[in-house]
Structures are given as C-alpha cells and as structure tokens.
Chain A
Amino acid sequence: MKISRQTIAGAVAIAAAGALLFACQTTQPKTQSSLVGGDAAQRVYVAPGSYDEFYAFLSGGFSGQIAVYGLPSGRLIKVIPVFSQNPESAWGYAEETKPMLMTSYGFIPWDDSHHPELSMTDGVPDGRWIFINGNNTPRIARIDLTTMTTTEIIQLPNSAGGHASPFTTPDSKYVVSATRFSVPIPNADVPIASYKDNFRGTLSFVTADQPGKMDIAFQILMPGFDYDLGHAGKGPSDGWFFFTSYNSEQANTKLEVNASQNDKDFIAAVNYKQAEQCVAAGKTRTFPSRYAHNVMDENTHTATSTMMTSVKMLDPRDCPGAVYYLPTPKSPHGVDVDPTGEYIVAGGKLATVIPVHSFTKMQKAIADKAFEKEIAGIPVLTYEAVMAGEVQKPGLGPLHTEFDGKGYAYTSMFISSEVVKWKLGTWEVVDRAPTYYSIGHLMIPGGDSKKPWGKYLVAMNKITKDRYLPTGPELFQSAQLYDISGDKMKLLLDFPTIGEPHYAQALPASMIKDKQVKFYSLAGNTNKWVTRSEAEGGITRSGKRVDIKMIAIRSHFAPDNIEGVQVGDTVYFHVTNIEQDWDIMHGFAVLGAENSELILAPGETRTMRWMPAAPGVYPFYCTDFCSALHQEMQGYVRVSPAGSNVALMANISKKAESQMSAPKAPTKK
C-alpha cells in the first residue's frame, strides 16, 4: 500500500506528541489519592449539633496569641489574646487590661508566642491551664482553660529570646525556660565581638502551680550557647530537664554558617532536684533584676502589674551534679522524652540521623564519670556512653518528635517535607507521609505526656503555596490532620491556621467542655467602678478627670444621655454588662475615641478612656448584636468648651441624681 508523506509526517508527529505527554506524566509527583483515606470526609465531618473530639491549642507565632481549633474538623473556634493587643476584644486597650502587657521595658503591645504547654498532673494534661512563651520580650503567660482568657504573665529577667519556653514538670510545679540569644548578664555596653568572653545564657525555673503566684524560684547561669527547646523527664527521668542548644561555636555573626561548623552541639541535662538543694543551701547569688509580674483578677476584672527586683542566680560551678552536657548532632532543635521516660530524642536539624539518648546510660555515665571534657565547670559526657541508638537515614532536617504511646515515634522532617514514623528500641523507620509543605512541628494529643491519647497527628507547615485558594503574596500557614490509629498514616484534612503555629497541644474535649464559665457573677464583681443596677450609674468630676458609670443590658445603656463633659477632660467610661445569661455580650464604642471598642462578657466591667478634642454631641452605641433592639441601643455625650457652665447630667433615676457631684460654677442652661 502506498503511504503518503503527509501520513508518515502526521504519524511521527502524533507519536512524538504521545511520547512527550507520557514523559511529562512520569515526572509528575505522586498523587495524594493513595495517602488520603477513603472515608476521610466522614472522619473529619462533625455534624451540626455535635462536637469535635479534641480541643487543640496552636501557638499564633508572630501573631502573639493562641488559636483554639476543634479536631477532627479543623475549625477555628477562638483566638485567645495573650501578648498582642486585640482591638476586637479591647485586650491591651481597656484600662483594666493594660497592666497585663507591662514589662521592665514599658508597655509592649506585641510578642512572638511559640510554644503552648498544657498544665500536667502525674505527667498527663489536667485541663487547668495552658502556658505559652513570649519570645521577643521573654515572658511566660498562663491561660485559664475555664474562661479561655490570659490571667497571668511573668517576665523573665537576664534573658533574651525566650524561645526554649515554657515546658512543664510532670506536676506543673515548675514551668521552665531557656534563652535563645546569649547576652551579657547583667546586660552591659560591650563590643559584640566579645561574645565568647562576655555573653551568657540562663535557664529559668518558674513556680507555676498556684494561679496568680508565678514566681522565679531560681535561674541557672549557662555558657553562651543558643538554647532552643526543652522537655522535662518523666517516670524514671522525673527530676531532670533537657534542653537542646546550638551555636556551641559561640558565633555572633552569620550564624547560618558559623554556628553550623561543629559536628556536635549539646543537650543540657539539668538535675533540678539537685539545683533545688543548692538553692536551699544558699548557694545562689541574689542578682538585682527588674521584671514585671502581671495578674488579672477574675473578681475585680482588673489587672495589676508589680515590678520585681531580684532573682536567685545559681552558677553550675557552685552546684556539682546539677548540669551535664550530652553531645548531640548537629545544631539540634527539638528534644523530646518518650512516654516511658527512658529515651531522649533529639531533632538535629542538620544531622543525617535522629540521635536517641538513654536516661539509664546517662545515669551510668555520670556514675562512671565518663566525661570527655568540661565546659565552664559543666561535665560533657561521651556520646557513645549515653547513646541508645540512632535512626538511620530518616530523611532531611529532623526537627520535632512526638509519640503515640504504642511504642512509635513520629518526627517532622523540614527539608524533605514529611513525617517519619519509627519504632523505639529498634530505631527502624516504618512509615513516611508527605506534608504540604515543609513541616515544622507536629502534634499528637498527649504526644509529649506519659500517656498519649494518640489517634490524630497535626502537621504544622511553613510553606503553603498552592494548598488553598491563593490570597495575594501573604498566605495563611497550612496544617494537615493525619489518622495515626493504624499501621500506616492516612491524610484526613488540610486546613489553614492563623499566625504561624510553632507548637501545639491538645486534650479531649470532655476534660474541659463542661467546666467552661458561661458568665461572670455580677454579685461577685468587685471592680472599683462596677455598676450593678441603673440606680448606681452616673457621672462624677474630679478636676479634669470625668468618670461615667454605666450599665449595659438588652437593649439600652443607662445613663444614655450625658452632659457636662468639657474639651480637655480625660473621660473614663466604666461600662458593666449586667446580664447573667449565657453568650449575651454587649459592646461599647463612642465617636472620636482614639481607642478600640469595649466588648463585655455578662457580669464584666471594662473601662474605656476618651479625650474629646472638640465641642459637640457624640453618639455611643452597642457594637455586639445583642437583641432584637440592638439598633436602638445607643446614647449621646455632650461635650462643651473648656470652662463652660453646663451642669453634669446623666439621666438615671431620681434617687441616683442626688449622688452626682454639683458643678463648681453657677449653672446656666
């Protein structure tokens, strides 16, 4: 048969196109369908009227807050303001809340919150509190888990970069912190290049088991390494604390290269019971230090800030047996203790293995004095003497490890963008799951406790790219939820997160769901300016300061017509929400106030400061839709020129009118 040239050309073209297409397909990445479990949608669907199984608390990172998510649905249910001002809820704007953000450097409206840590009893989360660190201005905050509000913040002196923080002892007697940035201690004007001679780090042991009474029991002065993360020992290793450190090279510039030179850095193992004994025996120095301790009182709804003046500083040289160094490859990041308390797993972010230390071997090495050298009086144990094993070829860039309580560990691999599951004791990798993309931390409910609840794993990633509808150059961080109940991990859900979660904690919803406070008791409200009924409202003047006491209830403010304010006054609106009913909030905003709104929970009193700059009539209104007649919930304030004769007036009952202060000059309408 005669075949034309066109036919041959066409056939070759088609064959070439087919070959190209085939070649392109084989270089496509593997699809996710094999990883996503068949019934994933059902597993993560929480039907209307039902509840999630777990509360998950994810740090906000550079947002400075904590975000609360439900698992398995991945729904965001609350953002709890901690270190950053929040104009929506008046956190850091309402007068009562401002002391919470006071520090020795002044009022700081933001921080970088990294690591939430649930309070524990017997090594297991107990649902009382969650703690979180401020990285930039080293601080630790306590959040009450029945009101989901920040109730206490303590600043850490002699610290820069409060990164390795806060980590709890199994009984939450202490939450412990270590510094990332070494600085001169006390801080002083020295050349930066004198790092090796002058720069030190500190560990802080903060007593945390009594609300309102956080206190720095003691600090330990450490060599100038960057301390990264920590965890308490448990079970047999209870009484010990472990911190990773990097930059044992003690570089002060271009750390990217200069801090990556040493083959091994160190895990600092701290026998804090030994340290306690040295403190009790008076081996510490009283170190003058200025730091703030801030407490929000639930009854007065008011925060107070107290400036503390000294800490007890312990030098490891004065307390032999308190601190040891365990060599650990290589610029390690996470240090995680397995549920049995025997294995101490390090994530050496530049290492090609996952090193695991053994607590038993460490005890023996100390007893046998298997030291390779000393650093500033701290014995360095030999690596082989303390090593339990190494997970070989796990992946690239190991960071954090958590445990499922069934003998397996899960480590996040930042560079190879995956979670690696391996077996404790045999150190063999049994499964891998890709994350999208570049996972930082992972969280298993109870995964760092004595008895992990397991079941789910949340991967918190650093690169989002194409996971969700794109939203301009800045994207929310991505997170994935995995089912780890079986032998192999299954991807269930992909959900975006606020800020940048560095770390997370979760507990079963049943532990705290029924303990949630529904409203604050009005009878128990002892705020200085509480107004419990309309008759208690009114306006008073003291020089250029004017105080207005007001109630908010569905659907009116009382008083709602106010006169007698003058230009140049500093006006304080003290508004009390006198409802005693679940989820009935009221808001308050006034025209021209250089301030945020107020949002008031039932039974709560909050104060807004306003400095009116021009005469006129200024409306105020309720900003939180509270009732069918929310739109009618408003009022007016009349501002007269400075020195005017307009009488103070607030339209409340006759009885209360007689309680107002009389104007100084004769009245003239």
Chain B
Amino acid sequence: MPISNHARTLVLTASLSLLSLYVLPLWRIDLLAPQYPEGLGMVIRANTIVGRSPNDLQTINDLNHYIGMKTIDPGAVPELRIMPYAIALIVLLGVGAALSRKRWAITAWLGLFAVAGLAGMVQFWRWGYDYGHNLAADAIIKVPGMAYQPPLIGTKQLLNFTASSWPAQGGFVAGAAFIAGAVAVWLSGHEARVAARS
C-alpha cells in the first residue's frame, strides 16, 4: 500500500529542511582557556570551516603550531567539497521518495541518510585523530603521551584549553530531520502491518 499522508509529509518536510544546511552551520568546536576569557571557536559549515569570531581560525592555527599540529586549512579537507553535493542528493532522493509514496523508497532513503550521517561522523573522527596525533617531530612543546584529538562530541581538557565539540543549528536540524524520517518509516510500516492483519 502507498504510505499515508502523514508519513509522506514527514519525509517531505525532513528532506526540504535539509536545504537549511547550506546556510546554517553544522558543527562547532569551542575552546576556553584562562587567558582567553572571550573564548575561541571553529564553526564547520557544509563547504568550509570558519572561526567563531573573525581571525579565530588564524589564532587557533597560531596556537597549534606550538604543539606541532598541522595547520587547519579548509581547502585541504575533501569532505568539504563533497558535502554540498551529498546534501543535494539526500534532499532530491527524499523528495522523490516521498512523492513516490512507496514504502521501500522512503526506507531506502532513510538508509542512505543514515549511512551518509554515519560516514560524516566517522570522517570527522578520523580527521580529529589525524590532526590530534600526527604532530610535527620538532614540535616546540612536547608533552609525553599527550595527543590533541578534540572530542567527537562533548568536552575534553587539552593542556590549558577546555575543548567542546557539539552540533550547531544545522546539526540539530539534520538530527531532527532524521528522526522525522525514522518516524515516517516506522509509521508506514505500522500502517502496513495493521492493514495486513485486518
């Protein structure tokens, strides 16, 4: 049977809401230290990384050179070139699946969404691992056994900095869209089972 209007609207709304990811930031990393009462931060957008305040990214790179961390250059992160297309694909497939009213379509779309999201998080973790562990051999400050991988999500103390990593507005929108999609899939499955029993 075709999916109900509720399920269709949910998938449609969820897909279209992902368009906001072109405008809203996806993720944020914030740094607090005693000599930075005003704080520093990075904001990850679909196609770039910028500082929370202008010049924050340059300041973070300047500070990172003491511990031998690579310079964070948005141009050198391939995911930032792929993500805008990936978002477009998920939006279009979602709209298509919703309009097709086919249960397998929206389920497949949800699966693709989950894979994309998971892949994004895995890449983010690997990027954090690479930058945090592969430090320059002649780093000025060497703390034995210390690595500077930022938390994937949450808060962690890195020398004099308290680093926090959390979704930004776009991240929350994507999360809400996924939940809406999951509800739609469950709803359509539930309706199908109810229909099969009757």
Where the two chains meet, the residues of A that have a C-beta atom closer than 8 Å to any C-beta of B are: 553-555, 579-582, 628-629
| Binary CB contact string for chain B from 125 to 136 against chain A (1 if under 8 A, 0 otherwise) | 000000000000
Asked whether any CB of chain A lies closer than 8 Å to the CB of B138, the reply is no
A418-B58 Cα distance, complex, nearest whole Å: 56
A62-B160 Cα distance, complex, nearest whole Å: 45
B38 close to A579 (CB less than 8 A) = no
A415-B170 Cα distance, complex, nearest whole Å: 71
Pick from A555, A581, A628, A629: contact of B55, CB below 8 A: A581
16 A-B pairs, CB-CB below 8 angstroms? A553-B62, A554-B62, A555-B140, A579-B62, A580-B55, A580-B58, A580-B59, A581-B55, A581-B58, A581-B59, A581-B62, A582-B38, A628-B66, A628-B141, A629-B66, A629-B140
Residue among A553, A579, A581 with most chain B CB within 10 A: A581
Q: Which residues of B contact A581 (CB under 8 A)?
A: 55, 58-59, 62
A553-B55 Cα distance, complex, nearest whole Å: 14
Q: Which residues of A contact B58 (CB under 8 A)?
A: 580-581
A51 to chain B, nearest CB (A): 13
B162 to chain A, nearest CB (A): 18
Q: Which residues of B contact A579 (CB under 8 A)?
A: 62
Task: Kindly list 11 other residue pairs between chains A and B, CB separation below 8 angstroms, not including A579-B62, A580-B58, A628-B66.
Answer: A553-B62, A555-B140, A580-B55, A580-B59, A581-B55, A581-B58, A581-B59, A582-B38, A628-B141, A629-B66, A629-B140
A555 to chain B, nearest CB (A): 8
A11 to chain B, nearest CB (A): 70
A628-B62 Cα distance, complex, nearest whole Å: 13
Q: Which residues of B contact A555 (CB under 8 A)?
A: 140
A580-B66 Cα distance, complex, nearest whole Å: 17
B54 to A, closest residue via Cβ: A580
| Binary CB contact string for chain B from 115 to 148 against chain A (1 if under 8 A, 0 otherwise) | 0000000000000000000000000110000000
Task: Give the 10 A-B CB pairs with smallest separation, nearest first.
Answer: A580-B55, A581-B59, A580-B58, A629-B140, A554-B62, A581-B55, A553-B62, A628-B66, A580-B59, A581-B62
A579-B66 Cα distance, complex, nearest whole Å: 15
A580-B62 Cα distance, complex, nearest whole Å: 10
B41 to chain A, nearest CB (A): 14
Q: Which residues of A contact B62 (CB under 8 A)?
A: 553-554, 579, 581
Q: Which residues of B contact A629 (CB under 8 A)?
A: 66, 140
A629-B63 Cα distance, complex, nearest whole Å: 12
A218 to chain B, nearest CB (A): 45
B37 to A, closest residue via Cβ: A49
A554 to B, closest residue via Cβ: B62
| Binary CB contact string for chain B from 62 to 76 against chain A (1 if under 8 A, 0 otherwise) | 100010000000000
A152-B90 Cα distance, complex, nearest whole Å: 60
A627 to B, closest residue via Cβ: B66
**B residues 46-94 with Cβ under 8 Å of A?**
55, 58-59, 62, 66
B98 to chain A, nearest CB (A): 47
A622-B62 Cα distance, complex, nearest whole Å: 17
A581-B58 Cα distance, complex, nearest whole Å: 9
B6 to chain A, nearest CB (A): 50
A629-B62 Cα distance, complex, nearest whole Å: 13
Q: Which residues of B contact A580 (CB under 8 A)?
A: 55, 58-59
A602 to chain B, nearest CB (A): 9
A579-B58 Cα distance, complex, nearest whole Å: 9
Q: Which residues of A contact B55 (CB under 8 A)?
A: 580-581
Residue among B38, B62, B66, B141 with most chain A CB within 10 A: B62
A565 to chain B, nearest CB (A): 29
A583 to B, closest residue via Cβ: B35
A603 to B, closest residue via Cβ: B55
A581-B62 Cα distance, complex, nearest whole Å: 10
A384 to chain B, nearest CB (A): 63
Q: Which residues of B contact A582 (CB under 8 A)?
A: 38
A555-B55 Cα distance, complex, nearest whole Å: 18
A582-B58 Cα distance, complex, nearest whole Å: 12
A632 to B, closest residue via Cβ: B140
Q: Which residues of A contact B66 (CB under 8 A)?
A: 628-629
**B residues 33-47 with Cβ under 8 Å of A?**
38
A580-B59 Cα distance, complex, nearest whole Å: 7
A554-B58 Cα distance, complex, nearest whole Å: 12
Residue among B38, B55, B58, B140 with most chain A CB within 10 A: B55
A541-B66 Cα distance, complex, nearest whole Å: 35
A582-B55 Cα distance, complex, nearest whole Å: 10
Q: Which residues of A contact B38 (CB under 8 A)?
A: 582
A553-B66 Cα distance, complex, nearest whole Å: 12
Q: Which residues of A contact B140 (CB under 8 A)?
A: 555, 629
Q: Which residues of B contact A628 (CB under 8 A)?
A: 66, 141
A580-B60 Cα distance, complex, nearest whole Å: 11
B63 to chain A, nearest CB (A): 8
Q: Which residues of A contact B141 (CB under 8 A)?
A: 628
Residue among A553, A555, A580 with most chain B CB within 10 A: A580
A553-B63 Cα distance, complex, nearest whole Å: 11
A330 to chain B, nearest CB (A): 56
Q: Which residues of A contact B59 (CB under 8 A)?
A: 580-581
A312 to chain B, nearest CB (A): 46
B60 to A, closest residue via Cβ: A581
B55 to A, closest residue via Cβ: A580
B141 to A, closest residue via Cβ: A628
B142 to chain A, nearest CB (A): 13
A553-B61 Cα distance, complex, nearest whole Å: 12
A79 to chain B, nearest CB (A): 24
B58 to A, closest residue via Cβ: A580
A247 to chain B, nearest CB (A): 56
B111 to chain A, nearest CB (A): 45
A555-B62 Cα distance, complex, nearest whole Å: 10
A614-B94 Cα distance, complex, nearest whole Å: 78
B72 to chain A, nearest CB (A): 15
A553-B38 Cα distance, complex, nearest whole Å: 21
A554-B140 Cα distance, complex, nearest whole Å: 12
A662-B59 Cα distance, complex, nearest whole Å: 36
B19 to chain A, nearest CB (A): 33
Q: Which residues of B contact A554 (CB under 8 A)?
A: 62
A579-B63 Cα distance, complex, nearest whole Å: 11
B140 to A, closest residue via Cβ: A629
A553-B62 Cα distance, complex, nearest whole Å: 9
A554-B59 Cα distance, complex, nearest whole Å: 11
Q: Which residues of B contact A553 (CB under 8 A)?
A: 62
A191 to chain B, nearest CB (A): 65
A581 to B, closest residue via Cβ: B59
A580-B53 Cα distance, complex, nearest whole Å: 11
A252-B85 Cα distance, complex, nearest whole Å: 88
A553-B59 Cα distance, complex, nearest whole Å: 11
Residue among B38, B140, B141 with most chain A CB within 10 A: B140
A581-B56 Cα distance, complex, nearest whole Å: 8
A88 to chain B, nearest CB (A): 23
A628-B66 Cα distance, complex, nearest whole Å: 9
A579 to B, closest residue via Cβ: B62
A629-B140 Cα distance, complex, nearest whole Å: 9
A582-B40 Cα distance, complex, nearest whole Å: 12
B51 to chain A, nearest CB (A): 10
B167 to chain A, nearest CB (A): 27
A267-B141 Cα distance, complex, nearest whole Å: 70
B193 to chain A, nearest CB (A): 61
A521 to chain B, nearest CB (A): 9
A562-B50 Cα distance, complex, nearest whole Å: 37
B146 to chain A, nearest CB (A): 15
A554-B35 Cα distance, complex, nearest whole Å: 15
B120 to chain A, nearest CB (A): 31
A581-B59 Cα distance, complex, nearest whole Å: 7
A555-B38 Cα distance, complex, nearest whole Å: 22
B35 to chain A, nearest CB (A): 9
